[in-house]
Amino acid sequence: MIEEMLPIPMGYKLLIAIPKLDDKFENTVIVRPDHLLKKEETATIVGLVLKMGSLAYRDQEKFPDGPWCKEGDFILMRAYSGTRFKVANKEAEQEFRLINDDMVEAIVTEPRVITRA
């Protein structure tokens, strides 16, 4: 399972899973070319917080109101942010990012309706 192969975020880093994109455009039978899927996945702005480093959101001066998100939240972040990497095994391949705790820009309640402009 991919979960067993995931790195553990250190310090103030968050481990973010990038949602898989549909290979077809919404409400059509038109298939997205592989290069377009790759480009959209790389530039995505929505992710799922999987794990948090031990120092994430501990700085009281920087985060006086507490954490901006928690594990299990979908978040909005800047396109191309963080350290991008993929984890693959025989069953699947998944893209992830390691971002700083202060790179979270918003919590997303419905990630499927958010797209990059």
Q: How far is CA 74 from CA 11, 54, 66, 102, 105, in A?
A: 21, 20, 17, 15, 11
**Predicted local confidence at residue 101, as pLDDT:** 98
pLDDT range class, residue 39, cuts 50, 70, 90: very low
Q: Which domain holds residue 9?
A: 2-113
pLDDT range class, residue 26, cuts 50, 70, 90: low
How many domains is the chain built from? 1
Predicted model pTM: 0.82
Query: What average pLDDT does the segment 17-21 reach?
Result: 81
Residue 84's Cβ-count burial label (10 Å; 0-12, 13-18, 19+) is middle
| pLDDT, the chain, mean | 85
Beta bridge partners of 17: 48, 96
**Predicted local confidence at residue 3, as pLDDT:** 76
Percent over 70 (pLDDT), the chain: 79
CATH code at 17?
A: 2.30.33.40
Residue 35 pLDDT > 60: no
**Predicted local confidence at residue 33, as pLDDT:** 57
**Predicted local confidence at residue 12, as pLDDT:** 98
pLDDT range class, residue 62, cuts 50, 70, 90: very high
Residue with the larger pLDDT of the pair 24 and 47: 47
